[in-house]
Amino acid sequence: MKYIRELTSHFESRPAFTSREVRTFLLNRGASAGYHKLLIHNLQESRRIFRISRGAYTFHEEVQLVGFGFQPFYYGLQDALSLRGLWEQETNPVILTPKRVRNGLRQFEGRNYLIRRIDRKMFFGFTFVSYYDFSIPVSDVEKTLIDFFYYRVKIPAEAQQSIAQKIDKARLRSYLKEVPDSLSRRVIQFLRSDIQNES
């Protein structure tokens, strides 16, 4: 089918792309206005591309890339613990985004992933880490800790010591100035109790 080779060459190096981007790409090459829908449908049917969410697709059958269908976002909570090497458990991707999306468990090619909305004021504290051929946004240790308390999710016992040991205190202090006082107090209480338990 016409344009497939060009489209593949242009988009397969990305973790994800949108139907709007495909439409623009094809229009610039002389395709008709609705042709992108047919092309996307045929590529899905042949399993050359995979649907992440409404209007978002990928050439890669890799669940850890689904976050790019919900930009802006970062990977956090248990997923960040795994990606940062803070524990050895393999976890489902956990996507934190300020977009208006439905919270909860979803599936991509038979694999589960979790989406959680986060307030835009709390959307900070992540850096990019290498994941195969891509760079993916992952909350740093300090923000991962804060997010566990923000979402009131229990921190896995086997990861608590690793988190406490790798905390950058100066960075954590600067982050805690950006969050509600009640949240800040819970984080500080956790760290103090962890230190007391070690002594």
- Where residue 196 falls among pLDDT bands split at 50, 70, 90? very low
With tokens 């338990």, the residue in question is: 197
Average pLDDT of 184-196?
A: 81
Report whether the peptide linkage leading into residue 180 is cis, meaning its omega lies within 30 degrees of zero. no
- pLDDT per residue over 41-51, tens digit each? 999 999 999 99
Three-class SS state of 1: coil
- pLDDT per residue over 96-130, tens digit each? 999 999 999 999 999 999 999 999 999 999 999 99
- pLDDT per residue over 4-38, tens digit each? 999 999 999 999 999 999 999 999 999 898 899 99
Q: What pLDDT, on a 0 to 100 scale, did the predictor assign at position 33?
A: 87
Cα dihedral angle (91, 120, 99, 144), rounded to 10 degrees?
0
Domain locations along the chain: 4-58, 63-198
Q: What pLDDT, on a 0 to 100 scale, did the predictor assign at position 194?
A: 57
Q: Supply the DSSP string of 74-104, one letter for each residue.
A: EE-HHHHHHHTTS-------EEEESS----E
| Rounded CA Rg of the chain | 20
Q: What pLDDT, on a 0 to 100 scale, did the predictor assign at position 130?
A: 95
- pLDDT per residue over 54-96, tens digit each? 999 999 999 999 999 999 999 999 999 999 999 988 899 999 9
What DSSP state is assigned to residue 55? Answer: T
Task: Tell me the pLDDT of the chain averaged across its residues.
Answer: 93
Among 69, 68, 64, smallest CA distance to 80 is for 64
